Structure 1
Amino acid sequence: MSQHTKVYVAGAGIISPLGPDSSAVAAAVNAGISAVQETPLLSKHLAPIKMALVPEDVLSPLDPRLVAAKLPSRQERLLRMAAPALQQVQPLLPEGGVLPMLLVLPEVIPNLSHPWRGNAIEQLAVQSGIPLDSRNSRAAEIGRAGGLHALKHVFQLMEQGQDWVLLGGMDSYWDAELLARLDAQDRLLLENSLDGFQPGEGACFVLLASERVAGTLAAPRVVLYRPGISQEAGHRYSEEPYRGDGLASAVRDAIAQAPAAKIDAVWTSMIYDSYGAKEFGVAMTRNSAHFSPTASQNHPVDRLGDVGASIGPTLISLIFELSRRPKKPAQHHILCCSSDTAYRSAVRMDIEGNA
């Protein structure tokens, strides 16, 4: 079993409120365009709920086999959204290969959201028409931190001989019951509210390649090192005091997994509520020695809305697209993500040959 220190990004597919593919989404984020707008749904104070929605005409029709399964409406929407995103990656897949998938699903929080019904990997294969290696695939309902957290399993698969792995995430807040419960907890950013977040939705899939086949990829090559993974004892739904240890520890460990270099750009899942802002501040302060004084800070949920479980793959996709642009992007990036529950994750991502 060979020890891998890094994996490479071979391509990405995305469905987002900002566009139907990774190039369009990256261009919109780069231009500062926001997809957040008022919806017909009203809060408990009769204020319109703002969120970023994927247009209905982008979603694929639900496969008749899944119609017969009578899945929850939110789950059906996610599969209809995820399939065209995954299909964008299909032309890049090795011929005849049936790949494993590490799939991140919406976070399960007691008294707020429901567990996924059925086998998400099998359902996605049915809806997309793309066969997946179900034996070596995994799905986890841990939300925002899940995409970067799942990289540890990507490394394990590649060390076992797998050269190509799919990493994906899908999430949506477009569910009346879920929004009502978040509203009851005063978590939504509404007219005249001072704290909260703006919901969104999206699906993103990234094709990752091992070091063994990295030579087949076009330059500049985009690399991910081993992730930093941690837990926050004082998370949003915990009785423990919040100290910000989880994300700070994940960032520290991610930095330690990569060659020494000053970080030029920071990308986060921060949703702009007071909890997330404080946590991000703690993580950056405790690791400040590793950042360039001119490092940019990127929190794309102000454009996308909170895309939940798809944020990790989405951040990877954005940086991959920027690496393809004529304008030279930053070379050393840190990505960090926080779930509402305890999970925290981070990863160093570099653009090789961009010095």
Structure 2
Amino acid sequence: MQGAAAIMIAGLGARTPVGISAPMSAASVRAGIVRFAQHPFMVDGAGAPMVVSAASYVPASVLGLERYLALAVPAMAEALEPLARVMSSLRPVPVALGLPLERSELPPRSQVASRLEAALEGSLEGRVRISRVHSAGHAAGLLALQTAAEWLNQGAELCLVGGVESYIEPETLEWLDRHEQLKSQTHRWGFVPGEAAAFCLVASERAMSRYGLQPLARVTAVASAIEQDRPDTGRVCTGIGLTRALQGALAALPSGAKVDHVFGDLNGDRSRADEYGFSIARLGERFVDATAVCTPADCWGDVGAASGPLFVNLAVAARLRRYARGPWSLLWTSSESGERCAALMGPA
């Protein structure tokens, strides 16, 4: 399914292991700063300390839902800063929120959403309303962006899009180790667990003018698909789902133009690399260089549901700081549950 076009990015917010704001996080990735470190007490099945990428400014004693709040609330507030002058006169801004896949150590997604909303009431005077929750893991943030595109094209003026995830919970780390997903000397194709929250304020072109917002970038298309041949099915995955999502986003690329930048959630898992390889074998002519993928998991670890909105931040930073190779960026994310999502971003 393809989301409608011409929605604008008007604000960004982020909290990651490499930064306490959107600009700082993007600059750290640009500089190649890495925040991998041994966990203070967790060891893997081989007895070695687990390596994680944690937000050091959040105390290690803060766990569970409180850790999600510590990451998400400041990121949401940062993304809403461009509306500070007019916030008191607005109706509550609807939020499309990306969350992890359901896990036993996490509270139900409805509880996470309600707690986030309650935590914002004091600092933001209740001017947000969480209207849709996507519990889809890696693809959740871009699925939320697709939802926002649909809302804006149905007449909404403003939306807040975001995702939050933390793999730092001890029970989560143990689960990853048992399922051979934790990167270690034993599991070389695993990933480094990270945590982050990221949000984007998106607006219609009319709202940009009405509220005096400065355009950061344009989201030209968002598309999603389902991969049936996931690794857990035992069938060979040839990237059909990801190919369809990429094709949906690329359909909005102007004739003769090519994608200049690619941002993907490759994290060291071999199946992800294989899936993307199959996809670009079909679509490679649409890219300047489809193999030149920005993989920020190398800096902040795997950040799951926050990935898509963080990729938006990186694409915007490349444009604003003038190190972008060209105007067109393609973002893609893949969930273990089969969701595949892609977004095309172009000049504002």
By the TM > 0.5 criterion, same fold? yes
Counterparts of residues 190-201 of structure 1 (less than 5 Å) = 190-201=184-195
What residue is the counterpart of 1:70 in the other structure? none
* Paired position in structure 2 for 1:343: 339
1: distance between equivalents of 2:289 and 2:323?
Answer: 21
Could you say if the C-alpha distance between residues 335 and 328 of structure 1 is closer, same or farther in structure 2, counting changes exceeding 3 Å? closer
Matching residue within 49, 69, 81 for 1:91: 81
Distance (Å, rounded) in 2 between the aligned partners of 1:212 and 1:58: 42
Of 90, 112, 115, the residue aligned with 1:120 is 112
- Identity level (%): 29
The TM-score normalised by the length of structure 2 is 0.89
* In 2, Cα distance between equivalents of 1:178 and 1:295: 32
Residues 259 and 120 of structure 1, relative CA distance in 2, 3 Å threshold = farther
Question: Residue 288 of structure 1: CA displacement?
Answer: 0.4
- Please point out which of 271, 280, 292 is paired with 1:275: 271
Displacement of 1:43 after TM fit?
A: 0.2
The answer on 1:151 being equivalent to 2:145 is yes
Q: CA separation in 2, counterparts of 1:282 and 1:43?
A: 33
Unmatched 5+ stretches in structure 2: none
> Take 2:296 and 2:244, find their aligned partners in 1: how far apart are those partners?
22
Distance 1:258 1:211, change over 3 A: farther
User: Deviation above 6 Å: which 4+ runs of structure 1?
Assistant: none
Q: Which residue matches 1:74? A: 64
Who is 1:174 aligned against?
A: 168
The one-letter code of the counterpart of 2:70 is R
Distance 1:28 1:212, change over 3 A: same
User: Could you tell me the TM-score, scaled by structure 1's length?
Assistant: 0.87
**C-alpha displacement of 1:113:** 6.0
Q: Distance in 1 between matches of 2:159 and 2:295?
A: 27
CA separation of 1:326 and 1:288: change in aligned 2, threshold 3 A: closer
Cα 1:57–1:201 shift into 2, 3 Å: closer
Offset of residue 211 of structure 1: 2.2
Q: Deviations over 1:52-71 (max 9, x none)?
A: 10124489x99xxxxxxxxx
Alpha carbons of structure 1 residues 217 and 337: separation in structure 2 relative to 1, 3 Å? same
Amino acid corresponding to residue 86 of structure 1 in structure 2: M
Question: In the TM superposition, what is the alpha-carbon distance from 1:192 to its structure 2 partner?
Answer: 4.7
Could you tell me how far 1:193 is from its partner in structure 2?
Answer: 3.4
| Equivalent position amino acid for 1:126 in 2 | A
> Which of residues 147, 156, 161 is equivalent to 1:162?
156
- Judge conservation of contact 1:75–1:116 (CA < 8 Å) in 2: no
Tell which deviates more after alignment, 257-266 or 15-24: 257-266
1:125 is displaced (CA, Å) by 2.0
SS of residue matched to 2:232: coil
Q: Per-residue deviation at 1:246?
A: 1.0
CA distance change for structure 1 residues 237 and 325 in 2, over 3 Å: closer, same or farther? same
Q: What is the CA RMSD across the aligned residues, in angstroms?
A: 2.3
With over 3 angstroms needed to count, the CA separation of the structure-2 counterparts of 1:117 and 1:344, relative to structure 1, is closer
Secondary structure at the aligned position of 1:100 is classed as strand
* Distance of aligned partners of 1:179 and 1:11 in 2 relative to their CA distance in 1, 3 Å threshold: same
Q: 2:219 & 2:338 partners in 1: Cα distance?
A: 23
2: distance between equivalents of 1:254 and 1:330?
17
Give the aligned partner of residue 33 of structure 2: 33
Q: Answer with 262-271 or 90-99: which moved more.
A: 90-99
How far apart in 1 are the matches of 2:229 and 2:331? 21
- Larger mean CA deviation between 113-122 and 313-322 belongs to 113-122
> More deviation in 277-286 or 118-127?
118-127
Contact between 1:101 and 1:132, CA under 8 Å: does it hold in 2?
no
Aligned twin of 1:308: 304
Aligned equivalent of 1:242, options 237, 245, 260: 237
1:201-238 deviation digits (Å, cap 9, x = unpaired): 0001110011223444436x411122121111111333
1:45 corresponds to: 46
Q: Please give the alpha-carbon distance, in whole angstroms, between the structure 2 residues aligned to 1:300 and 1:285.
A: 23
Aligned residues: 335
Structure 2 residue 249 is the aligned partner of structure 1 residue 254: yes
1:205 aligns with 2:232: no
Partner secondary structure for residue 14 of structure 2: strand
For 1:294 and 1:331, the matched residues in 2 are separated by 15
